[in-house]
Chain A
Amino acid sequence: MRKFWHELASPPHFYRLAGRLSPWFGWVAAVLIVGSGWAGLFWAPPDYQQGDAFRIIYVHVPSAWMSLFVYVVMATAAAIGLIWRIKLAHAVAASCAPLGASFTFLALATGSIWGKPMWGTWWEWDARLTSELILLFLYAGYMALRGSIDDTARADRASAVLALVGVVNVPIIHYSVIWWSSLHQGPTVTKLDAPSIAVSMLVPLLTMSFGFMCYFAAVLLARVRGEVLERERNARWVRQYSGLS
């Protein structure tokens, strides 16, 4: 096991492994997203109150889940990089940020599009919406901080601290609908007793979420490859593995 982690942390090994795995995750994601998108749009029945507007759930909820999941991955990678000084972990954290920001943007934008016909407004300074907006600012701050420091090692350390501080916002977002009186609906799928959503509506939602997860893995691996190549440009292995020898 120790050998596995040791090998995984090695940039040449990871670069090669990521190049092999990324297309597989990509194809699985494409099949799941297209299939679930079709099922969500045409197969799932309309909601008895919201009609067809509820179908936005299939892009809004997976985006919102991913915005939190990516942040946790980013903070974990940053912590690993900070504690064990593994450069590859910092490369993973840096590659997570733009993806997490785009999922957060999607969650906010699709939520806003859904909110207009249901709530009668594009935006409300509600606890869930505001804490999700803070998450977008955290991603933006992380990327801005990295961009403002020329020295990669210093940028890694400073941004890792910011990522770790920002973790506090993750449970706030998740529990905001319970802790505060919110316009946003409460938990539907993640309730511990039983999800209050029909199975025909739930299945496309879960498969779409898994598709988003595979999509994230595919794009993250591709991004990390670029990041590793930039960071290791002076290393001897780069010539061999990048096919530029």
Chain B
Amino acid sequence: MGATIFWFIMMLGDILSMGDYTAYVWSAYGLTLLVLVGNILLARRRHSAARLDLGRRLQAREGER
């Protein structure tokens, strides 16, 4: 089991290796992924918050009646 995990990690390391620039390349791609996903989450949260606020307003208005 241990040997399999070690072999898998070594293989993955070989695949992901970018020579002397591994840290630079992967940090640039990682940061990009983070920002792209973050933008999607923020847009969804904003829409949900607007809907929630609207729902509360409508409920309050119904309550007043």
Q: Which residues of A contact B (CB under 8 A)?
A: 26, 33, 37, 41-42, 46, 51-53, 55-56, 59-60, 63, 98-99, 102, 105-106, 109-110, 113-114, 116-117, 215, 219, 222-223, 225-227, 229-230, 233, 238-239, 242, 244
Contact B55 A53 (CB under 8 A): no
CA distance A110 to B38 in the complex (A): 17
Interface size of B as a range: 20 to 34
With beta carbons under 8 angstroms apart, the residue of A37, A52, A102, A239 that contacts B35 is A102
Contact B28 A114 (CB under 8 A): yes
Q: Which residues of B contact A (CB under 8 A)?
A: 15, 18-22, 24-25, 27-29, 31-32, 35-36, 38-40, 42-44, 46-47, 49-51, 53-55, 57-58
Contact B51 A244 (CB under 8 A): yes
Which chain B residues border A106 with CB–CB below 8 Å? 31-32, 35
CA distance A41 to B29 in the complex (A): 10
Which chain B residues border A99 with CB–CB below 8 Å? 39
Total A-B Cβ pairs within 8 A? 95
With beta carbons under 8 angstroms apart, the residue of B27, B53, B58 that contacts A239 is B58
Which chain A residues border B35 with CB–CB below 8 Å? 102, 105-106
Contact A102 B25 (CB under 8 A): no
With beta carbons under 8 angstroms apart, the residue of B32, B40, B53 that contacts A110 is B32
Contact B19 A233 (CB under 8 A): no
CA distance A225 to B48 in the complex (A): 10
CA distance A60 to B27 in the complex (A): 12
